[in-house]
Amino acid sequence: MNLKGRDFLTLMDFTKDEILYLLDFAQEIKKDVKSGHFLPILKNKNLALIFSKPSLRTRVSFEIGMRQLGGNSLTLKQDEINLGIRESIADTARVLSGYADCVMIRTFAHKDVEEFVQYATIPTINGLTDDCHPCQIMADLLTIKEHFSKLEGLKLTYVGDGNNVANSLLVGCALVGINVAISSPKGYEPTGRFLNFAKEIAKTSGIKVEILNEPELAVDGANIIYTDVWASMGQESEAQARKEIFKPYQINAQLCSFASKDVIVMHCLPAHREEEITHDVLEKYADVIFRQAENRMHAQKAIMASIIG
């Protein structure tokens, strides 16, 4: 499947077949790495990484992943380039297009990434914005496929803040045939356009897309329970208030008992133990959660290899 030259900004830009192709490709790449074979698919290619938001997993997975593909990467922090401040986003896009073969941006406003793409002549990857986190969901789907050997027909329940991860989970799950339920406090549900996209797919695919404020009802029959921090970067001033609001949405042993017997728990990390997830539940499912983190690298390698070419 030819995806060369495509941007990877949101999963809404891709079809079911394209996502499944990338997941299959990621599995092949991961198998090669585990057997000690590193194919130089991107030899002499260069990736520029822009970080307005810091990250352990995003930086390491992209840098090492690019190296395993035979390419090079250069990391640019916000205080080094001040995206959209020191010079315009348009000019930054034009400059980097003359140096690199691909750009990854991890920032706050999604409109900044969209503006960058308007002026860039090389593929751009969304490493996270306040609206969505497509690379994370590709890693999640890869982990689910590895664990259950399928995607269609499963049920995933996300419990917590209806943030960028929840938005992208709605889209990703709907596209590949996973029933998805989101349980958030009133006023903290996912963004409407992502929910509406998932519901439109559900009309023809037959999957269920549900928004429920009661976590016990939401996890009923779930094969996967998923959570994230209650306060994301940029919401530090709300952290204390959110702890009180989200207390009933903690992933603990009691909540897991309402789910399917084969349930697994996932977390995109970093985790705040004893807040959104208890220590005992995280440790019980640590193998899944940290394989999920590793799969960021393999999923992103499939994306880079496909769009850079």
Listed in sequence order, the residues at least 6 apart from 196 whose beta carbon sits closer than 8 Å to its beta carbon are: none
Q: Given the residues 268, 292, 298, 300, select the one marked as catalytic.
A: 268
Distance CA 60, CA 13 (A): 26
Assigned token pair, 59: 């930086």
Distance CA 66, CA 44 (A): 10
Q: Given the residues 101, 130, 140, 228, select the one marked as catalytic.
A: 228
The verdict on whether 132 is a catalytic residue reads no
Q: Given the residues 6, 57, 133, 147, select the one marked as catalytic.
A: 133
Q: Given the residues 106, 147, 242, 298, select the one marked as catalytic.
A: 106
**φ and ψ at residue 82, rounded to 5 degrees:** 50, 65
Distance CA 147, CA 265 (A): 12
The verdict on whether 242 is a catalytic residue reads no
Q: Given the residues 147, 242, 296, 298, select the one marked as catalytic.
A: 296
Strands 264-267, 102-106: parallel, antiparallel or unpaired by DSSP? unpaired
What SS3 class is residue 183? strand
What SS3 class is residue 66? helix
Among residues 108, 179, 142, 176, the alpha carbon closest in space to that of 266 is found at 142
The verdict on whether 228 is a catalytic residue reads yes
Assigned token pair, 89: 């986003």
Distance CA 105, CA 301 (A): 15
Q: Which amino acid is at 215?
A: P
The verdict on whether 268 is a catalytic residue reads yes
Listed in sequence order, the residues at least 6 apart from 92 whose beta carbon sits closer than 8 Å to its beta carbon are: 81, 83, 84, 116
Q: Given the residues 68, 78, 136, 250, select the one marked as catalytic.
A: 136
The verdict on whether 37 is a catalytic residue reads no
The verdict on whether 136 is a catalytic residue reads yes
**φ and ψ at residue 77, rounded to 5 degrees:** -90, 160
Q: Which amino acid is at 121?
A: T
Neighbour-count burial of 21, counting CB atoms closer than 10 A to its CB (0-12 exposed, 13-18 middle, 19+ buried)? middle
Point out the residues that are catalytic: 106, 133, 136, 228, 268, 296
